[in-house]
Structure 1
Amino acid sequence: MTSADPRTNPDNFCYRHPDRQSFVLCQRCLRTICPECQTPLPVGVICPECLAEQQKGARSAEVKRMPGRFARKMRSDRPVVTYAIVIFTLAMYLVQLIPVVGGAVTSALAFVPAYAVPGTGLPFEPWRMLTVAFVHSTPLPFHVALNMLALWALGRSLEPLLGKARFVALYALSAIGGSALVALIAPGTVVVGASGAVWGLLTAMLIIGRNLGVNILPIAILLGINLVFSFVGSGVSWQSHIGGGLVGLLVGFIFSRTRAQERQPLQAALLVAVGVGLLAVTATVPALLYL
């Protein structure tokens, strides 16, 4: 039983602050709450615990009303394309280590400039400009390891920022750009590796970060270190690095200037133009060397 004296009745004190007397009840749980614990509603007041439950229920209802949209937003934040490229490239490297089979795979996917130029007497296989990014030099495991580490580090930031389709376009065009410069400057070489594609990600990050106001000094330092390594490293195709980096700069500039929704068609058209231009230059200019 409760006391008849309001001053000694515990029901007349705030359940969260027992030293504060009050005669106001939460409209949901009917417990006594002091002015500090009261949240006004259109009718009555509510205590903090009931308010939290009410807000939680409202958020759950919001998610249930938009399950597809909510799920797509959650999935879009995960760099699944980056992880897929890393896993596939590492799997291809393991296949390359298999005797006989590995050599055939490398020969089928490596970039040889003559295969991208019609009329050289060799099959016309321009897709090698892209597939080169999925095979690496087997005697040098650090080659694929460094490329995939850089791809993992850059992709986790770039892919959520750009979206999956733009990230794929950037990676592919950078790989093609690296192959194109090899064909123009060193047409007699055979190239393997994702260095051109990774350099494209690096230089695109430089442009995009600058436009977003991000501190680009760490990116610039990493770019400089890689630049030195490209020229002094034994067996490293600096042409592929530079070609991919130049295309990455161009694509990053396109992305930064066509961010508005109404400029998306222009963005797509420019990306297609870059790809077609790289293929055309590779197929025509080096042809003079094979005449």
Structure 2
Amino acid sequence: MESESTESARPTEPARPTEPAVTTCYRHPKVESHVRCTRCDRYICPDCMREAAVGHQCVECVKEGARSIRQARTAFGGRISTVPVVTYLLIALNVLAYVGEVVRPAIVDRFEMLGAALTGPDGGHYVWQAQYSYDFHPEGVVDGEWYRMLTGAFLHLPPTEGTFGILHIVMNMVSLWNLGRVVEAQLGRIRFVTLYLLSALGGSVLVLVIAPYTPTLGASGAIFGLGAAYYVMARRLGADMSAVNRFMAGLLLWLLVSAGLTSWQGHLGGLLAGGVVTLAYAYAPRDRRALVQAAACAALLALLVITAVGRVSELTSGAA
């Protein structure tokens, strides 16, 4: 009879409780975290948590989600913005330029809009002639100073000169403040600044065509362009036109009344350019709106440049 061998039973040690692994934030490895992002499942610390519809998300997932959401647009394709940054910036630039004029008056002669003139040996300014003696020098756009067509729109009459003096910049900046905030809110920043600059350029081109020998300055051309934009946008949006029509009638009346005191050519050029640009903004087909709007602005810019170059060619050749 075989005997069964039994091993002596060894005492077993009690199982030690396993310590939980320490989890840390994926962006801040030294910070302990026990919350996961509901989107990517990574651990996040309180500094990296962002409230979500369910739970919390990390910073990167929130940014990625924002990119995938379609941004709201205005009826003209611009991004919705509650702060008229461009309007503020334009006013600031005009005011800074005005301060520069007061400190250094020579800025006006150097940067105002001037199509064609002559500088004499005595430093004086003389009426343009295509044929001039060697001791005279051309100045203005005919001498390649094309920048004047935009810089003149940021200058205004010095405090003690002209009919209006300091009221020139005050009236223009008040108008820019009132119109700019409305137009920029509807167009968005990029479209608004494009409208403003093309309107200013349109005013300078008409001055160059009709009154090339007369120095002009002021933001009025660009502001008249904003006025035209305000009218076109109101019609496109189906607004109550009674107040808008009164505004437009007042704008046109000022264009006529001020013709003997200001550059009506700059006002009219800005009005026409602003109207053309805003018509393109307002009535471009929705499915290819951005492309049509950009093409219309580029076409207007090309037309203005060609017109200006042709007029300068006429002046230098003595045709006008």
TM-score calculated relative to the size of structure 2: 0.64
**Structure 2, gaps ≥5 residues long:** 1-50, 73-78, 118-129, 132-137, 160-164
Matches within 5 A, 1:116-265: 121-122=138-139, 123-139=143-159, 140-233=165-258, 235-258=261-284, 260-265=286-291
What is the CA-CA distance between 1:57 and the residue it aligns to? 6.9
**In the alignment, what sits opposite 1:94?**
99
Deviations 1:18-42 (A, max 9, x none): xxxxxxxxxxxxxxxxxxxxxxxxx
Higher share in helix: 1
Q: CA RMSD in A?
A: 2.9
| Structure 1 residues 81 and 63, CA gap change in structure 2 (3 angstroms) | farther
Structure with the greater alpha carbon radius of gyration: 2
* Maintained 8 Å contact 1:82/1:159: yes
C-alpha separation between the residues in 1 aligned to 2:211 and 2:305?
16
The residue type paired with residue 256 of structure 2 is F
What is the CA-CA distance between 1:127 and the residue it aligns to? 2.1
1:78 to 80, 83, 95: 83
| Structure 1 residues 137 and 254, CA gap change in structure 2 (3 angstroms) | same
* Maintained 8 Å contact 2:209/2:311: yes
Moved more, 206-215 or 217-226: 217-226
What is the CA-CA distance between 1:211 and the residue it aligns to? 0.8
What is the CA-CA distance between 1:96 and the residue it aligns to? 1.0
* Maintained 8 Å contact 2:80/2:186: no
2:115 to 113, 116, 136: 113
C-alpha separation between the residues in 2 aligned to 1:272 and 1:144?
30
C-alpha separation between the residues in 1 aligned to 2:95 and 2:54?
42
* Maintained 8 Å contact 1:174/1:244: yes
C-alpha separation between the residues in 1 aligned to 2:190 and 2:306?
23
**Structure 1, gaps ≥5 residues long:** 1-55
What is the CA-CA distance between 1:166 and the residue it aligns to? 0.4
Deviations 1:174-211 (A, max 9, x none): 00011111111112110000000000010011111101
The residue type paired with residue 148 of structure 2 is R
Partner SS, residue 78 of structure 1: coil
What is the CA-CA distance between 1:93 and the residue it aligns to? 0.9
The residue type paired with residue 90 of structure 1 is V
* Maintained 8 Å contact 2:112/2:217: yes
C-alpha separation between the residues in 2 aligned to 1:279 and 1:244?
15
C-alpha separation between the residues in 2 aligned to 1:79 and 1:210?
22
Number of residue-to-residue matches in the alignment: 230
Q: Percent identity?
A: 34
* Maintained 8 Å contact 2:205/2:307: yes
Partner SS, residue 188 of structure 1: coil
* Maintained 8 Å contact 2:80/2:188: no
Moved more, 271-280 or 106-115: 106-115
What is the CA-CA distance between 1:108 and the residue it aligns to? 2.2
Partner SS, residue 112 of structure 1: coil
The residue type paired with residue 101 of structure 2 is Q
What is the CA-CA distance between 1:150 and the residue it aligns to? 1.0
| Structure 1 residues 273 and 89, CA gap change in structure 2 (3 angstroms) | same
The residue type paired with residue 104 of structure 1 is A
